[in-house]
Structure 1
Amino acid sequence: MTTDEAVAEIAGVMKKAGLVWLSWGGRRAVPAWFAAVDGAYVVLADRDGSAEQPLPGLVDADAVEVVVPAKPATSRLSGWSATVRRLEPGSEEWTAAAQVLRTERLNAAGLGNQLDRWQTQADLLVLEPTGTITAAYDDAHPAVTPPETSATTRGKRPITLHRRASRRPKLS
């Protein structure tokens, strides 16, 4: 498969996606919403812990693995690799990409100052396909061990398993 054919196939797959899973630098994949702009895909990465999507370290990554989930969330439609490029805030390309991304943003708060907030608190990153498709459709469930956490159970289970109390209080 040539690079142009791969990019065309990626474009067809990305039309069906509402979000993608991104992994870079050996990290676990994280979900990200995106917008298609002139054959490339733009994501918004939070810079200062604001209300935008957290993608820590993506701005410094050279390459990223993109996984497009299929509609049943237990399978993947495709996987491909991309290069990462940061757009300079205020440039003509940044403004055009931000306008397209703004229309794709769901549940946006503060639409009046959204672009100003993005200039100061977030990075617009372009994911340009390299033409390498890493995974085709796979309907096998990708079982992954959950990340380590400090969460724990409350304590012992109640003694009354599979039984109800013999007397219920009357409802008045």
Structure 2
Amino acid sequence: MTSELLDQALIEEAAKKSGLVWVRGAGAPAARALWHVWHEGAVCLVGDGPGEQPLPGLADGGSAEVTVRSKDKGGRLVTWTAAVSEVAPGSPEWEAAVAELKGKRLNAPDGEAMTERWARECRVLRLAPTGHTSPLPEGSLAEPPLPSAATTRRPAPAGLPRLLLRRRKPK
């Protein structure tokens, strides 16, 4: 019993202080960094809508693996199993969760109207701890980056430094 209480306290404290959690839903190829809030004993997320974070593999009634990192050092603190549930728009639970999420959402394109957009176009999920924590891994769990349209910088053309550094002639 004491071990379960300590695990719950560690999960709650770590999730409250961290701005990101790494979540891997059932069938997802890799964990994904997601912003969240800790509210009433669970991690609350909003996503799967235009301009919001994707929530791959997270389905109502499913499970997920959640990893919380240290805010100051970035190291892994705890990994735990969560039960995923979708919160129905307009319900008292949804209103309470969205009030917390709204305060943490940065750079919302529609400002105060974002909660209405979330109700229409997004999903609000609750990831409640099941009480099972995983031991910390021995080695690195680094994975290659997910596919993206972003490209890396190419080498500068050989003549560019001469063009940039040459002196302009006075007029």
With the length of structure 2 as denominator, give the TM-score of the two structures.
Answer: 0.79
Cα deviation for residue 143 of structure 1 reads: 2.6
1:109: how far off?
Answer: 2.4
How do residues 11-90 of structure 1 correspond to structure 2 at under 5 angstroms? Answer: 11-24=12-25, 25-47=27-49, 50-60=50-60, 62-70=62-70, 71-73=72-74, 75-90=75-90
Counterpart residue number, 1:144: 143
Unaligned runs of 5+ in 1: none
State the structure with bigger RCO (CA 8 A, min sep 6), 1 or 2. Answer: 1
Amino acid at match of 1:63: S
Question: Counterparts of 2:106 and 2:152 in 1: how far apart (Å)?
Answer: 34
RMSD: 3.0
* CA deviation after TM superposition for structure 1 residue 151, in Å: 7.6
| Larger helix proportion of the pair | 2
Task: Tell me the percent identity.
Answer: 34
SS at match of 2:166: coil
Relative to structure 1, the CA distance from residue 119 to residue 147 in structure 2 (aligned partners, 3 Å threshold; closer, same or farther) is closer
Distance 1:156 1:128, change over 3 A: closer
- Of 3-12 and 143-152, more deviation after overlay is shown by 143-152
| Secondary structure class of the residue paired with 2:97 | helix
Structure 2 gaps, min length 5? none
Instruction: Compute the TM-score of the two structures, normalised by the length of structure 1.
Output: 0.78
The count of residues paired between Structure 1 and Structure 2 equals 163
